[in-house]
Amino acid sequence: MNLYDLLASRFPKDPNAPRRADPKAPCFLMPDGGSFSYMFLEAAAAQVAGKLVALGVQPGDRVALQAEKSVECICVYLGTLKAGAVYVPLNSAYTQAEVDYFLGDAEPKVFVTDPLEWMRDLPDYEALEQGVARSDDDLASLIYTSGTTGRSKGAMLSHGNLAANALALHAAWGFTSDDVLLHALPIFHVHGLFVALHCALLSGAPMVWLPKFADAEVLAGLDRATVMMGVPTFYTRLLANPGFTRARADNIRVFICGSAPLLPSTFAEFEERTGQRILERYGMSEAVIITTNPLDGDRIGGSVGYPLPGVELRIGGGEEAPSVGSADTSPSGGGTGVIQIRGPSVFSGYWRMPEKTAEEFTEGFFITGDVGRRDPDGRVWISGRAKDLIISGGYNVYPKEVELVLDELPGVTESAVIGVPHPDFGEGVVAVVMGEGDEAAMIAQARAQLAAYKAPKRVVFVDELPRNAMGKVQKNLLRQRYEHLFEA
Ligand code: AMP
């Protein structure tokens, strides 16, 4: 089934349905008080699809879009699905040179940079009422990975991948047509585009639609919404705002977080302020969402929860893989290794990179590159990225283990631990600390809790850690910045 048809089958339209059944029901609630209805969305998707077909777009052709977040971007996305084409969203921050690379790689038939302008002449085209039939394996979208090492790769996600994940999340997080989703995420990434948007569309529910995270608009939006999704930075920014009170959070039935690790201190502070536990989940461009904490049941800070139904998750070479390190920071033992996954939402490979694809799959499992473990309850704990592993004097150092110790020290807001070239040790452990303190004292405090080879040899204090649009700390930039730190 075409993913668009699945989503549209849930739009409010049946006047006899028991719940909200008004096609004019809002889909997007705008900050200025206006709204766009589901009827508008459906009509726009049919018109966009009609224009694409008229422009010669065939099923499987790519349609790329690079633009600031808007309702029109969503119309282009849904119209592209409906026409059977493959949607390629590009980060609005990409430079011309970066865009040139993506266009050369994806070879889109159509590239939209101003969706409002592009949609102006839609009434001139015949709308495509019937979506182009697609099978589960047909491509729906190419998502370029953030590419912190080497060339950015296009993850090929099919109609079946996206439908399976959307249905699983919709069920796991208990979405209904009575929900209102606060949407302040970017929509060139799986989080805002597939996770958040699909949950709302499958519910035929409205979204408080914000162009970006801005404190005042988010606080006002919380009064109208029932679910919020965000990256960890959204939650730290809310907590830093005295206007974010328990009463403000009361209308929200669940706060969902992911795309980067949520600090246990943020989880705890959030619970103290609001009485609510953030629901953390774990995902990636190559598989959308993989694990989630439970909606009903214990949400544990620091754990990303359980694999979604249908997802098989194993560590290293097998379920009982031997420990490859001592990054074990969860309450009970179990092997730590690289997380591998298999299931209906796992992508089929990287666009035009069959060799790279083959390297990253083993026995049908995708090797995520994330290091983690499962505890005896089956919960998953992530301890970092395999490529962030530091090897110092022949010993493996897992940055997360060191960061957890540093983050507890007075004066530290957040830390990022990296390895940089060291004349004696190969790599030397460096802590980049957001906050203030004394370098020698902090090294001594770390040494009191960690084996000497794990403790940082240098601590650098900064005001802010570099982050990408999804709130992930860009360790590649830190490694570059400090690569000469240990030179004589
Ligand atoms: P992307 O493909 O840009 O979505 O990045 C995916 C990566 O983000 C994953 O492989 C993880 O390293 C990281 N990530 C996503 N969610 C979490 C989480 N809840 N905790 C820790 N890391 C996460």
pLDDT at 329: 38
In a domain, 432, yes or no: yes
Which token pair is 260?
């980067």
User: Atom of ligand 1 at shortest distance to CA of 384?
Assistant: 12
Residue matched to tokens 């009434």: 123
Of 167-176, 312-321, 354-363, 405-414, the one with minimum mean pLDDT is 312-321
Residue 280 domain flag: no
Question: Which pLDDT band, with edges at 50, 70 and 90, does 423 fall under?
Answer: confident
**pLDDT on residue 206:** 97
Among protein residues, the one with the nearest Cα to ligand 1's atom 15 is 259
**Rg over CA atoms, the chain:** 23
Domain CATH for 455:
3.30.300.30
Which residue is closest in CA terms to ligand 1's atom 7?
284
Provide the pLDDT for residue 426.
86
C-alpha neighbours within 13 Å on the C-beta side of residue 207:
28
Above 80 in pLDDT, residue 19?
A: no
What confidence tens digit (pLDDT) does each residue in 435-460 have? 999 999 999 999 999 988 999 999 99
**For the segment 231-262, what is each residue's pLDDT rounded down to a tens digit?**
998 999 999 999 999 999 999 999 999 998 99
- Cα–ligand 1 centroid distance for 363 (angstroms): 23
Q: Does 102 reside within a domain?
A: no
At 214, the pLDDT band (50, 70, 90 cuts) reads very high
- Ligand 1 atom at shortest distance from the alpha carbon of 468: 3
Which residue puts its alpha carbon closest to atom 20 of ligand 1? 261
Q: What is the pLDDT of residue 333?
A: 47
Domain-embedded: residue 419: yes
The pLDDT of residue 318 is 37
Place of tokens 């948007």: 197
Q: Please report whether residue 393 resides in a domain.
A: yes
Question: Does some domain include residue 24?
Answer: no
Which residues are near ligand 1 (CB < 6 Å)?
A: 145-146, 190, 258-261, 280, 282-285, 304, 368, 370, 382, 385, 470
Split at pLDDT 50, 70, 90, the class of 398 is confident
Which pair of tokens denotes residue 440?
């020698």
In a domain, 278, yes or no: no
| Domain encompassing residue 425 | 389-481
Whether pLDDT at 58 is above 90: yes
Residue 148 pLDDT > 90: no
Instruction: Answer for the pair 277, 267: CB distance below 8 angstroms, yes or no.
Output: yes
Predicted confidence band at 327 (pLDDT cuts at 50, 70, 90)? very low
Atom 5 (ligand 1): residue with closest C-alpha?
284
Number of folded domains in the chain?
A: 1
From 144, 367, 370, the mutation candidate for ligand 1 (largest count of ligand atoms within 8 A of CB) is 370
Ligand 1 atom with the shortest distance to the CA of 368: 10
The alpha carbon of 44 and the centre of ligand 1 are apart by a number of angstroms equal to 33
**Residue 373 pLDDT > 50:** yes
- For residue 394, is it within any domain? yes
Least-confidence region, from 18-32, 391-405, 410-424: 18-32
